[in-house]
Structure 1
Amino acid sequence: MKLILIPALAALIGLSACGEDGLADQLARKEAKDTVRPVLAQRFPGVPLEPATDCVIDNASAGEIIKLARAGVTGLGPEETQLVIEIATRPETVECLLKDGLAPLLK
Structure 2
Amino acid sequence: MILRAILPLMLLLAACDANPVDIVAREAAKSVVRPIVQEKLPGVPPDLVTECLIDNMSAGEISTLAQEAATGISPRSTEIVVATAQRPEAINCITREGLPLILNG
Unaligned runs of at least 5 residues, structure 2: 1-16
Quick check: 2:29–2:66 contact (8 Å CA) kept in 1?
yes
The answer to whether the aligner puts 1:37 opposite 2:34 as a matched pair is yes
| Superposed displacement of residue 62, structure 1 | 0.6
CA distance in 1 between partners of 2:95 and 2:68 (Å) = 27
SS of the aligned residue for 1:92 comes to: helix
User: What does residue 67 of structure 2 align with?
Assistant: 70
Alignment TM-score, normalising by the size of structure 2: 0.79
| Superposed displacement of residue 102, structure 1 | 2.2
1:96 to 69, 88, 93: 93
CA distance in 1 between partners of 2:79 and 2:52 (Å) = 16
| Superposed displacement of residue 83, structure 1 | 0.8
User: What does residue 12 of structure 1 align with?
Assistant: none
State the superposition RMSD in angstroms: 1.1
User: What does residue 87 of structure 1 align with?
Assistant: 84
SS of the aligned residue for 2:73 comes to: coil
User: What does residue 52 of structure 1 align with?
Assistant: 49
User: What does residue 7 of structure 1 align with?
Assistant: none
CA distance in 1 between partners of 2:99 and 2:57 (Å) = 19
SS of the aligned residue for 1:42 comes to: helix
Deviations 1:6-44 (A, max 9, x none): xxxxxxxxxxxxxx6121011000000000000000000
The answer to whether the aligner puts 1:23 opposite 2:5 as a matched pair is no
SS of the aligned residue for 1:102 comes to: helix
Alignment TM-score, normalising by the size of structure 1: 0.78
Deviations 1:54-78 (A, max 9, x none): 0000000111100110111111111
What percent of counterpart residues are identical? Answer: 42
Find runs of 4+ consecutive structure 1 residues off by over 3 angstroms: none
SS of the aligned residue for 2:42 comes to: coil
